[in-house]
Amino acid sequence: MPFLRRRPPAPTLILTALLAASGLVGCAEVPDPGTITVLNSATDTHEHDEEQKFFDRCAKPLGVRVRQTSVPADQVASKALRMASSHSLTDILELDGSELPQFADTGGLVPLADAGVDVTGMSEGAVSMGSFRGTSYGIARSVNSLALIYNADLLREAGVEPPTTWDELKAAAKKLTRGRTFGMAFSATPDADGVYQFLPFFWSTGGDEARLDDGKGAPALQLWKDLVTSKSASSAVVTWNQQDVNDQFIAGRAAMMINGPWQVPVLSAQKNVTWEVAPVPVPEAGRPPVPPIGGTVMALPRTGDSGRQRTAAKIVNCLNEERNQVAWGEAVYNVPTRTAASAAYKDQNPKLGAFADQVATARSRTGRVGARWPVVSDALSGAFQSVLTGRATPDNALKQAQSRATAGK
Amino acid sequence: MTTTVTTSVTAPTGRPRPAGVPRERRRATLLRWCFVAPAALYMLAFFGYPLVRNILMSFQHYSPRTYFTGEAPFNGLDNWRGVFDNPLFAQSLWHTLVFTFGSLLGQFVLGLALAVFFSRRFRLSGFVRAVLLLPWLVPMVVSAVVWRKLLDQETGVLNTLLMDLHLTSSAIPWLSSPNVALFAAILVNVWIGIPFNMVILYGGLQEIPRDLYEAAALDGAGAWRTFRSLTLPLLRPVVTVVLILGFMSTVKILDLILALTGGGPADSTQTLGTLTYQLSFQQLDFGQGAVVGNVLVLVSAVFAVLYLRANRSDFGQGK
Amino acid sequence: MPTRALPVPGTPRRAGSTVAALAVLVVLLFPLYWMLNIALQPGESLAATRWLPTTAGWDNFQRALSSQGGSLATSLVVALGAVVVCLALAAPAAYALAQFGLRSGRAIVFATLITQMVPGIVIANALYSAYVELGLVNSTLGLILADASLGLPFSIVLLRAFMVSIPREVVEAALVDGANRFTAFVRIVLPMSRNALITAGLFTFLFAWSDFMFALTLNTTDDVKPITLSMYEYIGAHVSDWGAVMATAVVSAVPAAILLVLAQKYVAAGITGGSVK
């Protein structure tokens, strides 16, 4: 009879366990005066350690330490909001550039000028990325952009020069498509990745994110559609994020791709792929490329503690000294935002010159629509997804996108 | 073996006299409630409170600013109107229903088939049955990532296999065609759900007394008839549990779809779960996100009530 | 003792069945094989994964263990804690619902069901603000309490179904012998429900083990980071290290797999108990 067996009464066990567990309760957050806190998205171990190196370098002379909390990039905004509601926001908040306006709009960020952070000498795009309604709230140490990365061997074998215009791009992609290798790969996922990749095409043909239905952006949709219908690019681009695109390229399944400088360490580790970088092709020869500028910005939340805020501002200023910007840019394969630092970076990294050049003319995603960017971005991704899957013509898709972007507004 | 303790062991000991004094009876009732109270209080705190808060939130202008200032002014039906005006809402609702019923059908039929199959005694049966539960142990984020690779149109193993075996001439756009993606998502979810269904249904099958089968066999009933008129009816209470719990966890699914398709292509796998995520955490419109969350609870409740009415005797009754 | 059930009669075609079972196994476990395969292959490109890890390397596993070991321990503590809390709450409640004939019993079971309808994201968000007040953010206890909610409704339903079949007379006999309701419950009902308790505990463990939403929401620092979250961070970084991710996934499934194998024989017996009469 199993039920007659004596056992220690369960509640006692439970009580003991609960008591033991309660010893693990974290103390209420009391800010340590000697520690400046940072929330960022540096979850990658290498990136996290690099960040820490720079923070330490800048914090040591001030006699403080820096503690990072890193969460996945798409979680930074919501985590920061939760922290704000519990008055536990970090002293430095490192946001994606596209999220800055929404935060600045809440009134929860300190204007950089008030905090004593200087943004003079930064490239125009970088300043614009950190601004909301004409005021700087965020400062970018380095930024990235997009370029055309191509497999030099495959291009040489096919006798193709790196394309500079859309017509050349289509012709080259067609010529490079052989067997299981596509001429071209890009990301068209319905998220930040896809939209980021669509923008250089959309903008360089005159598209306007504030007026999606003005017809000017339609040729960009048509270009993507043509690449897919001519089978020069896989119809699976609608499911490939930028990492997947890079995977396809490395595996030799794509001769050219659109991608960013953060892929460089992975690309460089490949022995059997020779890769080169060129600017994103433009609609017609002579038109300037208009790549998007991306990356994170550092902002200073209003924590109500002016002493800590001053310390945080000093750290941010130090991180943005020319020497530190160049070193940081090299560490994460992004381009420094100080014009002078960018030039130095280009001298030292000739292979990434195309990226450095792109950044000079690159445009911020939130410059025109500000805090409405997430809605607009969603509408844009709806447009290219429906065109690529054959559910709408470019013109119709943009009309729908405009009504989606302005619905309820 | 403890499941089938018989009454004969203890039946003769007699029954205690019912408490005669009202006060004593009240005390007994109180004591009984003491058993329920901790769980009830816990559920109020961990389910009731969030639900009420979410309902309130759906009538508030709840923006990023709210997190800084704590102010969330009531705005009547604005959020609800905003959601119902959004063409994505109707689409998402439809996708949610298709996804849920498709998943349930697949999980249940395959789970039941496997449960019946493993009820036979054969070599390695126990081992294989245990190992089949492994997919369940893998966090959904990871399952989705593996499946995304398996289903990749160009380099995925599934397409490579199908094409090498000449079962299809061109690559199947599992996740990249709006016409196929929802089906692919269902396929993956069925895969995830089979172990749960199989375990519970197998347990239910074990409870059906063997002599009933012997009687059926004596009456000359074939395998299929026995299954239909004996196994299924006796299994019904378990089936109810499986289907209700399955429905409720499937209808609000989020992480699988988010990691598999992100709602695409062209919103063809957008469900109420992904929509509430998108509204709340990407557009930071928490009021509208709360509306969709409430609709989700409502859909769940409606189906639960309908189903329980049809199967009144199976669920929630005492002895 | 009645004979144990053998539901489907018929001549067992043993070898055939075994072959069929193995075929099912191969098909259903293929994605897991692929996970292992990726984990064993060095190199960066998932697009070029080979069918067999011919040059198997354990580097990924070493990296996974060294970087995720702490998170694995956290997951273990949290999941076990959640099991304890969940069973402590569910068992008495299920017993009362099954045996006392409480008039509102049906309503309570229905309420239990409603809890299953509330999306996790809604719960997590609301809990965060409550946790801030209570000082439970960034604490192991906070996460344990939240994770217990994942298994509680299911455990109550399962245990109730089982306890309905415990003959009332058994308990009443003990009451006659001078035990009160509570000691009778602890000494008699709980041991009799062993299978069901193990099953409910196992399910709760699995739910808590794979929890992601609460771990993500209820922590603002890296102090309490379960394996699901630290794995998600791997995937979330720009340049993903797929081999390490998959190795971590494999490693993360091992404790749960061991537990499952150990508890396996109780599960079938405990799962439905008395719900079929």
pLDDT tens by residue, A233-262: 999 999 999 988 998 998 899 999 999 998
Which residue on chain C is closest to B123 by alpha carbon?
A: C18
* Closest in C21, C98, C173 to B318, CB measured: C98
On whether residue A12 sits in a domain, the answer given is no
Structure token pair of residue A48:
């996290």
Please identify which residue in the block is written with the tokens 């000359």.
Answer: B220
Cβ within 8 Å, pair B47-C114: yes
Residue B6 — pLDDT band, cuts 50, 70, 90? Answer: very low
Say whether both A392 and A254 belong to one domain.
yes
Say whether both A66 and A174 belong to one domain.
no
Q: Residue B7 above 80 pLDDT? A: no
How many structural domains are present in chain A?
2
Would an 8 Å CB–CB cutoff place B34 in contact with chain A? no
Cβ within 8 Å, pair C88-A2: no
Secondary structure of residue B140 in the 3-state scheme: helix
On whether residue A29 sits in a domain, the answer given is no
Q: Which residues of B touch C99 (CB under 8 A)?
A: 318-319
pLDDT of residue C55: 64
On whether residue A345 sits in a domain, the answer given is yes
Cβ within 8 Å, pair C88-A11: yes
Q: Residue B9 above 50 pLDDT? A: no
Q: Chains A and C: how many Cβ contacts under 8 Å?
A: 129
Cβ within 8 Å, pair C122-B128: no
Higher-confidence position of C158 and B187:
B187
Secondary structure of residue B12 in the 3-state scheme: helix
Q: Which residues of B touch C273 (CB under 8 A)?
A: 3, 207
Asked if C211 contacts C81 with a C-beta cutoff of 8 angstroms, the reply is no
Cβ within 8 Å, pair B3-C170: no
Which residue on chain C is closest to B54 by alpha carbon?
A: C122
Low-confidence winner among A17-21, A312-316, A352-356 (lowest mean pLDDT): A17-21
pLDDT of residue B213: 85
Higher-confidence position of A209 and B229:
A209
Cβ within 8 Å, pair C7-B210: yes
* Closest in A3, A81, A248 to B154, CB measured: A248
DSSP B311: T
Say whether both A78 and A157 belong to one domain.
no
Q: What is the pLDDT of residues A210-235, one digit of tens each?
A: 999 998 999 999 999 999 999 999 99
Please enumerate in sequence order all residues whose Cβ is within 8 A of that of A113, keeping only pairs 6 or more positions apart, or say none: A135, A136
Q: Which residues of A touch B9 (CB under 8 A)?
A: 1
- Residue of B51, B60, B142 for testing the chain C interface, max C β-carbons within 10 Å: B142
CA C28/CA B193 separation, integer angstroms: 11
- Residue of B29, B49, B138 for testing the chain C interface, max C β-carbons within 10 Å: B138
Cα atoms in the Cβ-side hemisphere of radius 13 Å centred on C13: 6
pLDDT of residue C28: 93
For residue B265, whether the previous peptide bond is cis, meaning omega lies within 30 degrees of 0, is yes
Residue type present at position C222: D
Phi, psi of A65 (to 5 degrees): -115, 165
Which residue on chain B is closest to C51 by alpha carbon?
A: B157
Say whether both A166 and A281 belong to one domain.
yes
On whether residue A16 sits in a domain, the answer given is no
Which residue on chain C is closest to B190 by alpha carbon?
A: C28
Last residue of a domain, one of A328, A344, A361: A361
pLDDT of residue C70: 85
pLDDT of residue A12: 38
Asked if A264 contacts A333 with a C-beta cutoff of 8 angstroms, the reply is yes
Report the gap between the CA of B259 and the closest CA in chain C (Å): 10
| Domains in chain B: ranges and CATH | 87-314 (1.10.3720.10)
* Closest in A106, A182, A382 to B267, CB measured: A382
Q: Residue B318 above 60 pLDDT? A: no
pLDDT of residue B42: 93
Residue numbers of the domain that contains A240 = 147-292+369-406
* Chains contacting A (3 or more CB pairs within 8 Å): B, C
**Listed residue (A298, C70, A85) closest to B64, CA to CA:** A85
Say whether both A342 and A393 belong to one domain.
no
Complex ipTM > 0.90: no
On whether residue A339 sits in a domain, the answer given is yes
CA B252/CA B274 separation, integer angstroms: 9
Asked if A83 contacts C129 with a C-beta cutoff of 8 angstroms, the reply is no
Asked if A157 contacts A369 with a C-beta cutoff of 8 angstroms, the reply is no
* Closest in B2, B33, B49 to C130, CB measured: B49
Which residue on chain A is closest to C131 by alpha carbon?
A: A86
Q: What is the mean pLDDT of residues B113-125?
A: 86
Higher-confidence position of C235 and A152:
A152
Say whether both A384 and A237 belong to one domain.
yes
Phi, psi of A165 (to 5 degrees): -120, 170
Low-confidence winner among A81-90, A141-150, C160-169 (lowest mean pLDDT): C160-169
Q: Residue A5 above 60 pLDDT? A: no
- Residue of A1, A24, A90 for testing the chain C interface, max C β-carbons within 10 Å: A24
Cβ within 8 Å, pair A10-C88: yes
Say whether both A402 and A255 belong to one domain.
yes
pLDDT of residue A13: 40
Cβ within 8 Å, pair A43-C234: yes
Q: What is the mean pLDDT of residues A44-53?
A: 87
Q: Which residues of B touch A251 (CB under 8 A)?
A: 155
Report the gap between the CA of C4 and the closest CA in chain B (Å): 7
CA A294/CA A308 separation, integer angstroms: 28
Say whether both A80 and A210 belong to one domain.
no
Q: What is the pTM of this model?
A: 0.86
The number of angstroms, rounded, from the C-alpha of C195 to the middle of its chain's C-alpha atoms is: 15
| Domains in chain C: ranges and CATH | 14-43+52-57 (no CATH), 67-275 (1.10.3720.10)
Report the gap between the CA of B317 and the closest CA in chain A (Å): 25
Structure token pair of residue A61:
């002379």
pLDDT of residue B313: 57
pLDDT of residue C276: 35
On whether residue A117 sits in a domain, the answer given is yes
Asked if A355 contacts A145 with a C-beta cutoff of 8 angstroms, the reply is yes
3-state helix, strand, coil in chain C (%, to 5): 75, 0, 25
Q: What is the pLDDT of residues B53-88, one digit of tens each?
A: 999 999 999 888 888 888 889 999 999 999 998 889
Say whether both A155 and A215 belong to one domain.
yes
C-alpha gyration radius of chain C = 23
Share of chain A above pLDDT 70, in %: 92
* CATH code of residue A139: 3.40.190.10
On whether residue A230 sits in a domain, the answer given is yes
- Helices C227-236 and C59-99, interaxial angle, to 10°? 130
Q: What is the mean pLDDT of residues B91-115?
A: 96
CB atoms closer than 10 angstroms to residue A380: 27
Phi, psi of A322 (to 5 degrees): -55, -45
pLDDT of residue B319: 35
DSSP B73: -
Low-confidence winner among A166-180, A263-277, C9-23 (lowest mean pLDDT): C9-23
**CA-based torsion, B160, C239, A193, B271: positive or negative:** positive
Residue type present at position B117: F
CA B265/CA A188 separation, integer angstroms: 9
Cβ within 8 Å, pair B120-C154: no
Q: Residue B209 above 50 pLDDT? A: yes
CA B119/CA B198 separation, integer angstroms: 11
pLDDT of residue B134: 84
DSSP B136: G
CB atoms closer than 10 angstroms to residue B221: 17
Q: What is the mean pLDDT of residues A344-373?
A: 86
**Listed residue (A312, A318, A324, A321) closest to A115, CA to CA:** A312
- Residue of B116, B119, B120, B154 for testing the chain C interface, max C β-carbons within 10 Å: B120
Mean pLDDT by 10 residues, chain C (277 residues): 43 74 91 86 62 71 78 91 96 86 66 82 86 88 94 86 81 78 84 88 88 86 83 64 77 80 69 44
Residue A290 — pLDDT band, cuts 50, 70, 90? Answer: very high
On whether residue A17 sits in a domain, the answer given is no
The end-to-end CA distance of chain C, in Å, is: 15
* Closest in A3, A84, A239 to B68, CB measured: A84
Report the gap between the CA of B266 and the closest CA in chain C (Å): 23
* Closest in B68, B148, B264 to A106, CB measured: B68
Task: List C-alpha distances in Å: C15 to A168, B112, B187, C29, C82.
Answer: 63, 22, 30, 21, 43
Report the gap between the CA of C119 and the closest CA in chain B (Å): 6
Q: What is the pLDDT of residues B240-276, one digit of tens each?
A: 878 888 898 899 888 899 889 989 899 999 999 999 9
Asked if C102 contacts C147 with a C-beta cutoff of 8 angstroms, the reply is no
pLDDT of residue A271: 82
Say whether both A257 and A385 belong to one domain.
yes
Would an 8 Å CB–CB cutoff place B68 in contact with chain A? yes
Asked if C131 contacts C142 with a C-beta cutoff of 8 angstroms, the reply is yes
Say whether both A273 and A162 belong to one domain.
yes
Q: Residue B158 above 60 pLDDT? A: yes
CB atoms closer than 10 angstroms to residue B171: 21
Q: Which residues of B touch C30 (CB under 8 A)?
A: 150
Q: Residue A59 above 90 pLDDT? A: yes
CA B278/CA B269 separation, integer angstroms: 13
**Listed residue (A205, A221, A234) closest to A381, CA to CA:** A221
Q: Residue B124 above 60 pLDDT? A: yes
Report the gap between the CA of B283 and the closest CA in chain A (Å): 5
Higher-confidence position of A409 and C23:
C23
Would an 8 Å CB–CB cutoff place B153 in contact with chain A? yes
Q: Residue A14 above 80 pLDDT? A: no
Q: Which residues of C touch A237 (CB under 8 A)?
A: none
Kindly report the CA angle at A383 between A379 and A388, in degrees rounded to 5?
150
Secondary structure of residue B60 in the 3-state scheme: strand
CA B289/CA B80 separation, integer angstroms: 10
3-state helix, strand, coil in chain B (%, to 5): 70, 0, 25
* Closest in B155, B194, B206 to C5, CB measured: B206
- Residue of C14, C28, C68 for testing the chain B interface, max B β-carbons within 10 Å: C28
CA A379/CA A383 separation, integer angstroms: 6
Would an 8 Å CB–CB cutoff place B178 in contact with chain A? yes
CA B281/CA C216 separation, integer angstroms: 13
- Mean pLDDT of chain A, nearest integer: 88
Q: Which residues of B touch A81 (CB under 8 A)?
A: 64, 67, 284
pLDDT of residue A15: 38
Please enumerate in sequence order all residues whose Cβ is within 8 A of that of C123, keeping only pairs 6 or more positions apart, or say none: B46, B47, B50, C146, C149, C213
Q: What is the mean pLDDT of residues A397-407?
A: 91
Q: What is the mean pLDDT of residues A36-46?
A: 87
Asked if B96 contacts B272 with a C-beta cutoff of 8 angstroms, the reply is yes
CA A79/CA B105 separation, integer angstroms: 37
Written in H, E and C, the secondary structure of chain A is CHHHCCCCCHHHHHHHHHHHHHCCCCCCCCCCCCEEEEEECCCCHHHHHHHHHHHHHHHHHHCCEEEEEECCHHHHHHHHHHHHHCCCCCCEEEEEHHHHHHHHHCCCECCHHHHCCCCCCECHHHHHHCEECCEECEECCEEECCEEEEEHHHHHHHCCCCCCEHHHHHHHHHHHCECCEEEEECCCCCCHHHHHHHHHHHHHCCCCCCCHHHCCCHHHHHHHHHHHHCCCCCHHHHHCCHHHHHHHHHCCCEEEEEECHHHHHHHHCCCCCCEEEECCCECCCCCCCCCECECEEEECECCCCHHHHHHHHHHHHHHCCHHHHHHHHHHHCCEECEHHHHHHHHHHCHHHHHHHHHHHHCECCCCCCHHHHHHHHHHHHHHHHHHHCCCCCHHHHHHHHHHHHHCCC
Which residue on chain A is closest to C223 by alpha carbon?
A: A26
Cβ within 8 Å, pair B173-A235: yes
Which residue on chain B is closest to A89 by alpha carbon?
A: B68
Cβ within 8 Å, pair A70-C188: no
Say whether both A270 and A312 belong to one domain.
no
Q: Which residues of A touch B68 (CB under 8 A)?
A: 84-85, 106-108
